[in-house]
Chain A
Amino acid sequence: MSPAKKPPPSQELIKGIWRENPVLVQLLGLCPALAVTNSVANSIAMSGAVLFVLLGSSLLVSSIKRIVPTDVRISTYILIIATFVTIADMILEASVPAVHKELGAFVALIVVNCIILGRQEAFASKNSVGRSLLDAVGMSIGFTLTMVLMGTVREVLGNGTFLGYSVLGPNYEPWVIMILPPGGFLTLGVILLVFSWVKRRSAARDKVASSIGGPAVQEAA
């Protein structure tokens, strides 16, 4: 049996944005998605750190996949991921100390973020460096979009601001619950609901189109 044909490289990049979005479809990385999305700035900083760690880890894991024995691959991946997380932590502390203070322990917790280890085990360890980097960028973009969307909803409703700038005026009474943990669950739940609804609608429309177009095409032929 010949091996399955691989999709074009561009698909590796765009699949993480919608079809295989790490948070909305794979439901991975929910800890930072719930914990640090109480402001847009925190969401962007966390997404930047995840992009750095995912890119670095995917580059290294895909490069060394043939020399790492299977028995110690998970330990090796964790070691690589932890190294990039420690580096990201130090760079954040040196360059943006205020944001680093806000993110607290959640930067260090990227080590156990399922998106990172999941992509190494499921993709980077089985694919070329180029494809792995495209996959890492695509997954990071999907993660970033979700984080920024959640951060925007929570900061605007919970604080009346966007990136610290007032958007709802001085008379707006903030929904404080939106920047508290329940607000994270509520926002994620609503986004997942809407995302699922849009996907189902799109699938149903495709099904109808194919059932209508099929016989017509046959008749014309």
Chain B
Amino acid sequence: MTAPAPPADVPARPSASAQRLIATLGGFGALAGLLIVSVFVVTQPTIRANKAAALAAAISEVLAAPDRYDTLYVTADALTRELPSGANAETAEAVYLGWRGEAPVGFAVVANGSGFQDNIRLIFGYDVSSAQLLGMLVLESKETPGLGDKIYKDAEFVAQFSQVHAPLVGVKEGQGNGLPTELVMITGATISSRAVIKAINATLERVGPLLAAYDVQEPRP
């Protein structure tokens, strides 16, 4: 049996040696690496700046526009201004203490939870002294368009997070008892609403004691 003849417009080429195959793939691999690293070096500062600006805007929204904020890293037993040894500043868990003048406004805390489609990442403002939430903003979500995405598109649902007290209790419309911890869930997006509530409650259960124990009067560096 003979091998099929190549199409008329493709010049017939003999099989290349192993060295040539390796050199070709190695050469293109090196060129690809060089190109990617060059673009990475050029774009990375902008990407970092965009992320920092997005975080600052989110903190400003959930803490009602503080004058400034401090970044505090979460360790096993306390909040610390210094980055724990061996941790990466971009990936280490942090909370943000907002200030208006010389008075603390509250903490902005990032929370994660499993939604209907995928992970939901959000940030919420929290006042430790009154155990009251100050606001909530969804940072990342792939919830169903038109249904689950109401967790950030439904202004009424989002507005509830600026007055509710922790721990949050989700109730269906018309079934609440008027308690300050109650939050009316979205009809047709109960799983997504509940995921937001669970994410906030779980995060507060974990870092709440650290927020309460942190001395906000600690001298600033």
Query: Chain A residues in contact with chain B, CB under 8 A?
Result: 1, 3-4, 38, 67-72, 75-76, 79-80, 82-83, 86-87, 90-91, 93-95, 97, 101, 104, 126, 158-159, 174, 176, 179-180
Contacts and interface: CB of A to CB of B under 8 A. Distances in A.
23 contacts: A69-B15, A69-B20, A69-B24, A71-B16, A72-B16, A72-B24, A76-B24, A76-B25, A76-B28, A79-B25, A79-B32, A86-B36, A90-B47, A93-B47, A94-B43, A94-B50, A95-B46, A97-B47, A97-B50, A158-B145, A176-B145, A179-B146, A180-B144
Max chain B C-beta neighbours (<10 A), residue from A71, A79, A94: A94
A38 B47 contact: no
B106 to A, nearest CB: 27
Contacts, number: 78
A180 B46 contact: no
Contacts of B144: 180
Contact of B140 (A68, A93, A101): A101
B29 interface: yes
B1 interface: no
Given A93-B43, A94-B50, A126 B16 contact: no
Q: Size class of B's contact patch? A: 20 to 34
B11 to A, nearest CB: 8
Contact of A126 (B10, B15, B32): B10
A185 B43 CA distance: 36
B39 interface: yes
Interface of B: 8-10, 13, 15-16, 20-21, 24-25, 28-29, 31-32, 35-36, 39-40, 43, 46-47, 50-51, 54, 140, 142, 144-147
B119 to A, nearest CB: 12
A215 to B, nearest CB: 37
Nearest to A75: B25
Contacts of B9: 3-4, 126
A72 B142 contact: no
A83 B32 contact: yes
B140 A180 contact: no
A94 B142 CA distance: 21
B40 A90 contact: yes
Contacts of A93: 43, 47, 50
Given A94-B47, A126-B9, A79 B29 contact: yes
